[in-house]
């Protein structure tokens, strides 16, 4: 595991920066909770710019999360597509495992598609974007 983390050392983000970006993991910043942990929205000043982020904080009680954590870092670091979130970095310190990605969403896709004001043309644009992302992922090696 240490050698895998070393491979991605250039993506490491200090815990204090993520804590500040998420307002100390404030509950008002929670955007998702699942079996692996909680995801928070925040604003991180990184690489000379302020960006909107999603910080997935893995639940360290479940050791199987270590493999999920490393796998997600490895996959996200290789994926480069306009319709797929990009990894900004990760944190693995003080018993915290956090993956930070760009945050592009304005709600869930389901919420967006259920909007009665969404035009047919926009629905088709979304469908094409999703299809392109799926095609990219299908050909990912």
C-alpha–C-alpha distance, residues 29 and 32, integer Å: 9
pLDDT at 82: 79
CATH number assigned to the domain covering 2-105: 3.30.200.20
Instruction: Look at residue 52 and give its three-state secondary structure.
Output: strand
Spatial neighbors of 46 by CB under 8 A, at least 6 apart, are 13, 17, 88, 89
> What are the φ/ψ torsions at residue 17 (nearest 5 degrees)?
-70, -40
pLDDT at 25: 95
Q: What is the pLDDT along the chain (141 residues), one digit of tens a residue?
A: 555 567 788 889 999 999 999 999 999 999 988 877 899 999 999 888 999 999 999 876 655 567 778 888 888 888 887 777 889 999 998 889 999 999 876 666 777 788 889 899 988 988 898 898 888 888 866
pLDDT at 77: 87
| Burial label, 83 (beta-carbon count in 10 A; 0-12, 13-18, 19+) | middle
Indicate the domain borders of the chain. Answer: 2-105, 106-141
pLDDT at 108: 67
């Amino acid at each position: 595991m240490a050698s895998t983390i070393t491979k991605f050392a250039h993506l490491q983000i200090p815990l204090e920066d993520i804590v500040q970006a998420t307002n100390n993991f404030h509950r008002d910043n929670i955007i998702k909770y699942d079996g692996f942990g909680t995801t928070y929205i925040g604003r991180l000043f990184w690489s000379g710019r302020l960006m909107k982020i999603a910080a997935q904080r893995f639940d360290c009680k479940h050791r199987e999360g270590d493999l999920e954590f490393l796998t997600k870092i490895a996959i996200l670091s290789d994926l480069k597509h306009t319709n797929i979130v990009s990894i900004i970095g990760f944190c693995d310190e003080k018993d915290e495992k956090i993956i930070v990605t760009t945050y592009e969403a304005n709600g869930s896709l389901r919420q967006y598609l259920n909007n009665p004001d969404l035009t047919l043309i926009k629905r088709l644009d979304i469908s094409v974007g999703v299809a392109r992302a799926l095609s990219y992922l299908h050909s990912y090696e």
